[in-house]
Amino acid sequence: MEAFAHLSILISIILGLGIAELLSGFARTIEKRGAARIYPPPVVWAFLLLLTHVQTWWSIFGLRSHLDWTFFQFSVVLLQPIVLYMLSALALPRSSAELDLHANYFAHRQWFFALFASLLAVSIGKDLALSGSLPSTMNLAFHAALFCLAGVGFIFAADRVHRWLAYTAAALIGAYIALLFARLN
């Protein structure tokens, strides 16, 4: 078995756990829809995280040509799906007893946006660890814009700010994937 095939198994497992976490959250929300307090930002973020899990799995295929793996490099690559999983666990309420998406979102808001900023830093760190260089300028620009959104989300607790953040992040992440990851490399 080649190194990438071996290493990608653990990455795929963690990404799968994150996807399962999100899908379970959606199912709980649908199941308890009559009693749930729906709030759009966490629903948008949960969809974006689902999309990000798939995009991460899609982009990891590009690492198949990396041959000289070190434990440090693999650890940095593995950190990305780990942080994604943590974000997924916070995105929607885990208890089906009380599904208040608004209360859950604001209870975990600072952790969520700190982890989101960490995810962006790990994404850049992955390129540094693997190639010794930063990602492309366009890639860095998207990371910088999303990092600014994470800072705003961490600092401000106003409802209108968080609605704007979710929809702005959706536009940015959609453009990021369309421009940089439309084709499998």
Let me know: does 145 contact 172? Beta carbons within 8 Å. yes
What is the rounded distance in angstroms from the CA atom of residue 114 to the CA atom of residue 92? 16
Token pair belonging to 147: 């990092």
Q: How many residues does the chain have?
A: 185
Look at phi and psi of residue 132 and say left if phi exceeds 0, alpha if psi is from -120 to 50, else beta: left
CA dihedral in degrees (34, 87, 178, 144; nearest 10)? 130
**Choice among 63-72, 135-144, 159-168 with the minimum mean pLDDT:** 63-72
What pLDDT score does 36 carry? 83
Rounded-to-integer distance, Cα 78 and Cα 9, Å: 11
pLDDT for the residue numbered 96: 66
pLDDT at 160: 97
Q: What is the pTM of this model?
A: 0.94
Three-class SS state of 113: helix
d(CA 95, CA 182): 36
Q: Point out the least confidently predicted range of 16-25, 90-99, 165-174.
A: 90-99
pLDDT in tens, 10-48: 999 999 999 999 999 999 999 888 888 899 999 999 999
Helix/strand/coil percentages in the chain, nearest 5:
80, 0, 20
77 and 130 Cβ atoms separated by less than 8 Å: yes
Q: Is the pLDDT of residue 95 over 90?
A: no
Mean pLDDT of the chain: 94
What lies within 8 Å, CB to CB, of 98 at 6+ separation is: 35
Q: How many helices (H) and strands (E) does the chain have?
A: 6, 0
Residues 80-87, mean pLDDT to the nearest whole number:
98
Tokens of 157: 């607790």
